[in-house]
A and B are shown apart, each in its own frame.
Chain A
Amino acid sequence: MSALVGLGLGASTAALACDAPGQCRGVIDVRCDGLDDCWCNSGPFAGDSCIYDLESNAPEVCEVKCCEGATAGPSVPGPPSILRGTK
Chain B
Amino acid sequence: MMRARILALALLPAMLACPSSGREPTTHMVEMRDGVALATDVYLPAGEGPFPVILWRTPYDKAGDQWTAQALTENGIAVVAQDTRGRFDSEGRDLVFTSDGDGPLADGYDTMAWIAEQPWSNGKIGTSGESALGITQYMAASAGAPWQVMLDAQFATPNLYSDAFFQGGVRRHSLTERWLEAQGSLDFLDDIAAHPFLDDFWDPAETRDQWAMVTTPGYHVGGWYDAFAQGNLDAFMGYQYEGGPGAAGNQKLVMGPWHHDATWQSEQGELTFPDNAVAPPIDNAFDVMFNHWLELGHPEIPEHPDDIPNVQYYVMGDVDDPDAPGNLWRAADDWPPPAAGVRWHLQPQGGLSESCPGNDGDTTRYRFDPADPAPTRCGNNLLIESGPCDQREVEAREDVVVFETPELGAPMEITGHIYAHIYVEIDQPDTDLMVRLTDVYPDGRSMLISDGALRLATRGSPTDLMPLSPGEIIEAEVDLWSTSIILNAGHRLRISLTSSNWPRFAVNHNNGLPYPDSNTGPSTPVNVTLHHDAEYPSYIELPDPSRDPAGVNLCL
Contact = CB atoms under 8 A, between A and B. Distances in A.
Nearest to A43: B67
A8 B384 contact: no
Interface stretch (B5-13, B316-324, B408-416, B512-520): B5-13
A44 to B, nearest CB: 6
B63 A27 contact: yes
A77 B130 contact: yes
Interface in B59-103: 60-61, 63-68, 70-72, 74-75, 77
A42 interface: yes
A28 B64 contact: yes
Contacts of A12: 11, 16
Given A56-B184, A77-B264, A83 B290 contact: yes
Contacts of A13: 16-17, 20, 24
B383 A59 contact: yes
A27 B61 contact: yes
Contacts of A82: 75, 284, 287, 298, 300-301
Interface in A16-54: 16-18, 24-29, 31-35, 42-44
B4 interface: yes
A83 B16 contact: no
B140 to A, nearest CB: 20
User: Which of B3, B26, B60, B264 has the most chain A CB within a 10 Å cutoff?
Assistant: B60
Interface string B264-278: 100000000000000
Given A24-B18, A74-B71, A83-B298, A16 B13 contact: yes
Given A5-B9, A26-B14, A74 B67 contact: yes
A58 B16 contact: no
B234 interface: no
B393 interface: no
Contact of A81 (B8, B20, B221, B286): B286
A46 B132 CA distance: 20
A19 to B, nearest CB: 10
B261 interface: yes
Contacts of B77: 83
Contact of B24 (A7, A57, A80, A83): A7
B183 interface: yes
Contacts of A84: 68, 71-72, 286
A34 B385 contact: yes
A1 B3 contact: yes
B182 A57 contact: yes
A29 B20 contact: no
B157 to A, nearest CB: 16
A83 B286 contact: yes
A44 B18 contact: yes
A84 B19 CA distance: 14
A67 to B, nearest CB: 6
A83 B60 contact: no
Among B8, B64, B291, B301, chain A packs the most CB atoms within 10 A around the CB of B64
25 contacts: A3-B4, A3-B5, A5-B9, A7-B25, A9-B16, A9-B24, A18-B19, A24-B16, A25-B14, A26-B18, A27-B60, A33-B261, A42-B68, A43-B18, A43-B19, A43-B65, A56-B184, A58-B183, A61-B61, A78-B283, A79-B284, A81-B287, A82-B284, A83-B72, A84-B68
**Closest 4 pairs between A and B when the two form their complex, measured CB to CB:** A85-B71, A79-B283, A43-B67, A2-B4
